[in-house]
Amino acid sequence: MTEKLWGGRFNAPTDAFVEAFTASVSFDQRLYEYDIMGSIAHARMLTHVGVLTETECTQIVDGLKEIQQEILQGEFNWEVALEDVHLNIESRLTQKIGTVGKKLHTGRSRNDQVATDIRLYLRDETDLINTELTRLITALIDVAEREASTLIPGFTHLQSAQPTTFGHHLLAWCEMLLRDKARLQDCRQRVNCMPLGAAALAGTSYPIDRYYTAKLLGFETIAENSLDAVSDRDFAIEFTAAAALLMMHLSRFSEELVLWSSAQFNFIELSDAFCTGSSIMPQKKNPDVPELVRGKTGRVYGHLTSLLTLMKSQPLAYNKDNQEDKEPLFDTVDTLKGCLRVYADMIPAIQVQREQMREAAQRGFTTATDLADYLVRKGVPFRDAHEIVGKAVRHCIEVGCDLDALSLAVFQGFSPLIDEDVYDILTLEGSIAARDHIGGTAPSQVHAAVQRLRTRL
Ligand code: ARG
């Protein structure tokens, strides 16, 4: 039977089911790299302040490095009886180097140890996510630049509203994703704070040097209060909240990709590499990737709710409840990273059906606002201009034609101020070119926005 590292005060063995029920090693072993990193830094700090000798430190560090290799090579035997990643590694260390291994936990608790491990893990993962997110935004900017003049109908209420460009549309997604990037970077600052030294909850009686450990681990700051350091998981909640927002954006974007790739819209074609077929309908090419990303958004929302709920009723300081922080956090990281990666790969391969987009932009009287603006420039108050154009549109619907198909005589029946030059402003190109201000849809503005975005990345 495996001996418990905390067995001293117990008479009876742990119930077999309870042992499995309380163990976290099946999922927290994934933190091993950070656990070892934290332990090495802790041992070096203890040596620096004279609690461990140089020889002891070398034995511990070498032992931990060997354990790292054993784990990497799949030769490490994880034991449920040893509960979690921390006790598994510590136990193995003592097995390898003897009594010296038992000194590693001096001035430390699993409470500050686990909080440190998660922060180190999340700091790295945030950086990886940032890389994928940057790759996606860059891909969107590249397509937007290429499609800066590609006409597409802009929608409100999913009804054709005004012409815009595909480039301008994609840049809207870039703005949202850039805010997500900023949120993650902001969160990273608070993740990058070291709990180690808090020990179980109140600190430790050894002459520790927390700044020394923090420097070794690359932490920007150290937790100022030991109770806070071991109890709160707000950094994980904050990360998951930022992830939930990002997923919400990806989900909305997915919805558009699904619509656009339908036969009814036919605005884009996704590359075959990102779609699958149907086992019964031979004609089908399904946009699985956007659909799955849209679907996966739900689980990240769920994780956010889990973590908030996990935290809400815990008295200070550490409670075992916190062991439940890992799976939601890990799955949030995996889900987000996967979604970003597949999107960053898929976007450059999107085939844009420019003719279809242009044709759709032509439908639905999308230049009606331009006609109203034209009348305003001729001195008609906007509300009256709106009314006049509304009547002209109704006439077009009745006779079944577009605004630019009306003769000048018919136009003048609606307003004598309408002239031959009306036909220029009714063109799609005229409409987008007119919106020539910062944030507007004019191709020149889209190009300028692309330049600014590249420097903001
Ligand atoms: N496996 C635990 C967790 O994930 C480690 C900390 C346990 N601390 C304790 N005193 N039982 O939170």
When pLDDT is averaged across residues 229-246 and rounded to a whole number, the result is 98
**For 390-419, how does the pLDDT look when each residue is reduced to its tens digit (9 = 90+)?**
999 999 999 999 999 999 999 999 999 999
Q: 384 pLDDT exceeds 90? A: yes
Specify the pTM.
0.95
Quote the pLDDT of residue 277: 85
Average pLDDT, the chain: 96
231 lines ligand 1 (CB under 6 A): no
Ligand 1 within 6 A of 84 CB?
yes
Q: Is the CB of 323 under 6 A from ligand 1?
A: yes
Q: Is the beta carbon of 367 within 6 A of some atom in ligand 1?
A: no
- Mutation probe of ligand 1 site: the residue of 22, 29, 79, 114 with most atoms within 8 A of C-beta: 114
What is the sign of the dihedral through the CA atoms of 104, 105, 110 and 113? negative
d(CA 46, ligand 1 centre) in Å: 22
Q: Is 366 in the pocket of ligand 1 (CB under 6 A)?
A: no
- Residue whose CA is closest, atom 12 of ligand 1? 323
| pLDDT of 268 | 97
> Could you tell me if 352 and 147 are in contact, meaning their C-beta atoms sit under 8 angstroms apart?
yes
Mutate to test the pocket of ligand 1, among 110, 231, 329 (most ligand atoms within 8 A of CB): 110
The encoded tokens of residue 423 equal: 């036909």
> Position 176: which residue type?
M
Distance (angstroms) between ligand 1 centre and the Cα of 27 equals 13
Tokens 């009814």, residue? 264
Closest ligand 1 atom number to CA of residue 24: 1
Residue pair 141/257 in contact by the 8 Å Cβ criterion: no
Q: What is the distance in A from the centroid of ligand 1 to the CA of 238? A: 21
Domains (range + CATH), the chain: 7-106 (1.10.275.10), 111-197+224-358 (1.20.200.10), 368-426 (1.10.40.30)
Cis? peptide before 12, omega within 30° of 0: no
Residues 216-245 have a mean pLDDT of 98
Question: What is the reported pLDDT for 1?
Answer: 64
Determine contact, residues 83/23, Cβ cutoff 8 Å: yes
Sign of the CA dihedral 24, 29, 31, 34?
Answer: positive
In tens, the pLDDT along 128-172 reads: 999 999 999 999 999 999 999 999 999 999 999 999 999 999 999
CA distance 385 to 36: 72
Residue 15 CA to ligand 1 centre (angstroms): 18
42 has pLDDT over 90: yes
HSE toward the beta carbon, residue 287, CA cutoff 13 A: 24
The structure tokens listed for 27 are 């999922």
Q: Provide the strand spans (E) within 273-362.
A: 351-352
pLDDT by residue (tens digit) across 311-324?
999 999 999 999 99
Tokens of 3: 């001996």
Q: How far is residue 256 from each of residues 67, 250, 262, 357, measured CA to CA in Å?
A: 49, 10, 10, 14
For ligand 1, say whether the CB of 213 is within 6 Å of any of its atoms: no
- Per-residue confidence (pLDDT) for residue 372, from 0 to 100: 96
Q: Which pair of tokens denotes residue 84?
A: 């979690």
Cα distances from 249 to residues 244, 256, 333, 344, in angstroms, run 9, 11, 16, 14
Give 220 Cα–ligand 1 centroid separation in angstroms: 24
Q: How far is the CA of 74 from the centre of ligand 1 (A)?
A: 24
* Measured distance CA(173)–CA(177) in Å, rounded: 6
The neighbour count for residue 96, using CB atoms within 10 Å, is 17
Report the 10 Å Cβ neighbour count for 9: 5
What residues are labeled active site? Answer: 157, 278
Q: pLDDT tens digits, residue range 295-312? A: 999 999 999 999 999 999
Decide whether any atom of ligand 1 lies within 6 Å of the 108 Cβ.
no
Helices 210-217 and 32-48, packing angle to 10 deg: 140
> Whole-angstrom Cα distance, residue 250 to residue 22?
36
325 in contact with ligand 1, CB cutoff 6 A:
no
